Structure formats: C-alpha cells, structure tokens
Amino acid sequence: MSAGEPTLAHGAIERTSTTLALSPYAALRLYGRGLDLVEWLCRALLVAALVGELGIILWDITARSTVDLSLLWADEAAKLCLTTLAFIGGALAYRAKHHTTVEFVRQLLPVGWREPVAIAIDGLVLVTAATVGYISLDLLAIAGLSTTPILQISAAWFVVPLSVGMGLVVLFAIERFATDYRPALAWRTLAGLAVTVSVVLAVTALPAIPRPGPQAALSLMLVLFFAAVLLGLPVSFAMLLGSLFYLLLTGTAPLIAAAQNTVDGTGNFILLTLPFFIWTGLIMERGGISLRLVRFAMALVGHLRGGLLQVVVLTIYLVSGISGSKVADVVAVGSVLRGELKKQGYGPERSAAVLAASAAMSETIPPSLAMLVLGSVAPISIGTLFIAGLLPAAVIAVLLMFLNWVLAVREGAPRMPRATGPELALAAGAATLPLVMPVLMVVGIRFGFATPTEVSAVAVLYGLILACGVYRAFGLRDLVRIVVDCGVLSGMVLFIIAAAGSFAWTLTAANLPVALIALLHALGDSRAAFLIGSLALLVVVGSLLEGLPALIILGPLLIPIAGQYGIDSIHYAMVIILAMGIGIFIPPIGIGFYIACAVAESRIEAASRAMIPYLIVLVLGVLAVAFIPWFTHALPNLVGSR
C-alpha cells in the first residue's frame, strides 16, 4: 500500500466526520418523521372517536325507538370522546397552525421585531402546555382513585387526553423552533423568555414579597391576557396562561384547579353537537350541497340590483341552517361564488365585506354553534333559541340586501335577467333535499322528538346519504379525509371551549362578576344603557376571543344581570350572540374577517374600507333586535315555545 493511498481507517474517519457534520439535520428529519407517525396515529384515533361516537348515538336512537331501550353509558362514552377530540385534536391543530390568532398587531411591528415576537409566542405556548401537562399528572393520579358509575372504568381515562395532548404540543413547539426560525435568534429569544419566566416564578414563590390583592391580580392577569392575544398567542393558550398566572400570583387555589376546570370544560354532553355539525358542514362544502343552494338563491334574488351580492346574503342564510359553523359557511359560499363575482365586476374587497357581514348576520340561524354553546352554559332552552333566532337574522339580512341595492343603484350596476318559471322550479327542486335538513333539525328539537346531540348525529347521516348516495360526490378516501379534517377542526374549537372553562372559573374566583356589574352600572343604571353597554362589550371581547369563549365567559355573568332589568333571557341571548358575531367579523382584528378576506382573495386594508357601511348596518340591525323584543318573541309565541 503506497503512502499516498487512503487507508480503510482514514476512510472510516472521513465517513464518521461527515455523518457527525450532518447529524443535526439528520436528527431533525428523523424527529419530523417521528412526529409525522405520531400525528398519523392521533388522526386515526380521532377518526375512531368520531365514527364510534356517531355509531353510539345512532344506535341509541334506534334502540330507543324500536325496543324502548336507552344506552345508559352513552354519556360517559361521549365525555371520553370529547376530551380526546379537544386535547388530541387541539394539539394536531397547533401543528397545522389552525388555532385562531390575532395577526393585526404583530404585522404593525417593525420587520425586525416580528420573528422574535413569533418565537416568544411559541415559547409561551411551550411553557403553558408544559405547565398544564405537568400539573395534569397530579390530577391523573387523583382521578385514578375513582371509577365511573356506569362503565366502571378508571376516571383517569378522562384526564389522559389532556396530559397526552399537552405533551404533543410541547413536541410540536420544539419542532417549530427548529424548522420555522433562525436557530441563533430562537435560542436568544427563548433564553430571554426562560429568564423572564424564572423571575416571575421566583417572585411569586418568595414569602417576603406580599401578594397583590384580588383586584390588582385580576388587572395584571387581564393585561397579560390581552397583550398576549394581540401579539398573536392563540386564544386558547392565552386563556390557560392567564389562569395559571392568576393562581400563581394570588395562591387562591392550587394550580391543579386549572387542569381540573380545563377537563370539566368539555364535560357537557351537548358539546358533542359541535363536531357533528362541523362534520355536516364539511360534507356540505365538499359534497356539492352548497352549490345547489347557491343556484336556488340565484334563481330567487339574482335579478335584483346588486344581484350576486344579494345571492351571497341569501345563500349564507340558507347554508347556515345546515352547517352551524360560520367558517364553513364563508368557505362554502365564497369558494362557489368567487369566480362569478369577479367575472361580473365585483371587487374582491366588496365580496369579502358582504361575506363577512352575512356570516355575522347568520349567527342566530339554527343550528348555530353559538346557540349550542350558550345553551350549554346558561339555563336557556336550545329549542326555543333555534326558533327565536330565525327572525332576527332575517331582519338583518333584509337590511344588508337593502344596502346592496342602494350601493348597486349608486354605482349603476347592471341587472341580471330574472329566472324563468322552469329555471326557478328546477333550482327549487335541486335545493329541496338539502333544505329538508334544517327543517327536520328545528322541528325535532322543538317538539322533543330528539335531543340536539341526536339531531346533529342524524344530520351527519343525512348529509352522507345525500353526498354519497344521491349526488355521488365523493368516495371512501374523500370520506376519510373529511372525518380527519373534522377531528382537527373540532379539536381546535373544543380546546378553546375547554380553556374557556378554566378561564371563566378563574375570572369568577377573581370576582369579575362584581367588577362587571359595577362597570355596567357606571355606564348608566337603565335598561337601554345596559343593552348598549353589554352589546359594545361583546363586540370588543368577541373580536379578541374568537366569539365562543366570549359567550362562555360573559354569557353566564350577563344573563342574570339582564334579568334584573326585566330583559327576557331568550331575547338577551339573541342580542349577545349577534354582538359576538359582529366582533368575530369586525375589521381589522376579527378572526372571521381574515377568513372572509382569504376566501375572497382580498387585501385586509381594502376590505376593511368596504366593510364600513355593512358594519353600520349590522350595528343598526342588532340595535333594532335589542330594542324591539317582538323580533325575538314572534316565532316562539307563534309555535308556543315561550
């Protein structure tokens, strides 16, 4: 062997050094693939939970109807399904970046600040998830000492999804640090965050430092919460962070209370309607059902001035009676009409504004998720809410259509030809089967033929029959994809509700109801002042909290106060739901407004300007509903629901 020839040992050293040089990247790829496998297994678990629970509900309906036998363990199975969806699905939603965030304020920061702020936000997610996951282990041990009354399984099974879900969020956050940000900047930012958290923990642990009073601690918590939300922390994690911060600061209760109330936040059986209605909405969106409703609306009102914009308003009204999800409504209608709106000369900013305003209007159309959530946290009949919500939404829809007509006349927009009799009959025939669904749901709940959960399960089955059996819109692979997407989206929504349960408990412990009553009294001790003040409060808080948490937190607090002013709970529910809807779709921070702009392919700034007249009409419409109770009570009185 010559001296210049490489030896086997030298080659091995070269290969080893190359391997070592590449090992960080190889490790990162291996880590990502491992998480991909974990995510696949979690998605399979979500599919099993959804399909299994749907089967249980349908089986229970069949057994009760045929042999008068009810499945007593269905409630416990539903709770296990809900906790699995909330915390496992919520974790997957974090990896997919589906959690709702307010991006407006972060975009106003200098470019050089945006990445460090984003890193700090994900760092807060990691700290919050790790803390909740850690304290959930104590809750897991305590729950393991008891069993459920019907299934006789360990109560720890209802806590396991929280522990696993928070662990997954930690793993996904680490992946995000490694792949989404510059390593050096990520390390510096995380080090600064770690020092800040350590100082806070040290200060709260020192007995020599006096703890702040309840009011001061509440103020500090709210400042932290709103600052974190405005900088882009997902609302659900901001609520958990606020709860932990308050408990650390005051010592009012042990930290395990935050974990317990988070699990309890998903414990209401009626919340099972949420994933089922989301499932129905996805079937509608991808199964061609929304297209048939669009054609029907076009045949009815397409000839009016502002033709296609009028079609948007009416279609949202019709579609809302099927999906229950405003996001699904905006996507379903906007994606179908977007091309035609452009072809007829409507700018994307106007399309986005009409989509957003129409979705805000439709919050009281059954089966509204907002109604279901409010009915789960306040003593209000969901069946009566469903009946009462139709006319207030119709009033605002008429006002929006009138505004479309005025703007079209002013701009000289051309008319579309009126549909002929045969065309109208054909469109009505195609829309008949989809429109049967909301009628069956409202009638079933109102007259006691089925519970809201059972109705939502039947809605899924009916949608599957239409999309697969009648319209043949998709096959097995598409069905699986829809169920997976439903699991992740439902997880995000249920995780928000679970976190809101913990946050609402913390706010109650901090005497927020007393402070809220004092604030509303300061605005004026009258019925009118209370209505206007609480309406404004719901708009602002709804824009920051993505709507549903605002109802969970403020609904149980405000409804009893409304009763003191002689305001009927059903009437007041309409007011706060509509106000929350405006908040979700108000520019520039409403989450729903971002979705409408994305669907319409519009710039936020241009759509915000186009939204101004529609926002004025929405506020006038809600004020009309607030000060004319007849709009709320007319239909319930007609069918005897009061």
Percent of the chain with pLDDT over 90: 25
pLDDT at 343 over 50: yes
Position with higher pLDDT, 165 vs 436: 165
Q: How far is CA 430 from the centre of its chain?
A: 31
- Mean pLDDT for the stretch of residues 336-341: 79
Quick one: pLDDT at residue 19?
A: 46
Quick one: pLDDT at residue 463?
A: 86
**3-state secondary structure labels for all residues of 260-322:** HHHHHCCCCHHHHHHHHHHHHHHHHHHCCHHHHHHHHHHHHHCCCCCHHHHHHHHHHHHHHHH
pTM over 0.95: no
Task: Convert 311-328 to b/e letters by CB count within 10 Å (16 or more is b).
Answer: bbbbbbbbbbbbbbbbbb
Highest mean pLDDT of the ranges 426-435, 470-479, 622-631: 622-631
pLDDT at 439 over 50: yes
Q: How far is CA 495 from the centre of its chain?
A: 9
- Mean pLDDT for the stretch of residues 489-499: 88
Question: How would residue 208 be classed by pLDDT, with cut points 50, 70 and 90?
Answer: low
Q: How far apart are CA 355 and CA 600, in angstroms?
A: 8
Quick one: pLDDT at residue 511?
A: 81
Q: Report H helices in 447-510.
A: 452-464, 476-509
Angle between helices 527-545 and 512-523 (to 10 degrees): 130
* Phi and psi, residue 147, nearest 5°: -125, 160
Angle at 194 between CA 189 and CA 200, to 5 degrees: 130
- Mean pLDDT for the stretch of residues 364-393: 86
- Mean pLDDT for the stretch of residues 55-60: 88
Question: How would residue 641 be classed by pLDDT, with cut points 50, 70 and 90?
Answer: low
pLDDT at 148 over 60: yes
Boundaries of every domain in the chain? 29-267, 290-432+510-639
Number of Cβ atoms within 10 Å of the Cβ of 112: 7
Highest mean pLDDT of the ranges 9-13, 99-103, 466-470, 523-527: 466-470
pLDDT at 567 over 80: yes
Question: How would residue 323 be classed by pLDDT, with cut points 50, 70 and 90?
Answer: low
Q: Which residues contact 266 (CB under 8 A, 6 or more apart)?
A: 79, 82, 83, 86, 494, 497, 498, 501
Token pair for residue 615?
């926002």
**For residue 319, what are the CA distances in angstroms to 362, 434, 438?**
9, 9, 9
User: Over the stretch 387-400, which tens digit does the pLDDT of each residue have?
Assistant: 899 999 999 999 99
User: Over the stretch 531-549, which tens digit does the pLDDT of each residue have?
Assistant: 998 898 888 888 877 677 8
- Mean pLDDT for the stretch of residues 499-522: 82
Q: How far apart are CA 466 and CA 472, in angstroms?
A: 8
Contact 521, 281 (CB under 8 A): no
User: Over the stretch 599-636, which tens digit does the pLDDT of each residue have?
Assistant: 888 888 888 889 999 999 999 999 999 999 999 999 88
Position with higher pLDDT, 40 vs 451: 40
Q: How far apart are CA 489 and CA 93, in angstroms?
A: 7
Contact 249, 235 (CB under 8 A): no
pLDDT at 488 over 80: yes
Q: Please give the span between the terminal C-alpha atoms of the chain, in angstroms, as a whole number.
A: 100
Quick one: pLDDT at residue 642?
A: 54
What is the overall mean pLDDT for the chain? 84
Token pair for residue 541?
């808080």
- Mean pLDDT for the stretch of residues 192-203: 74
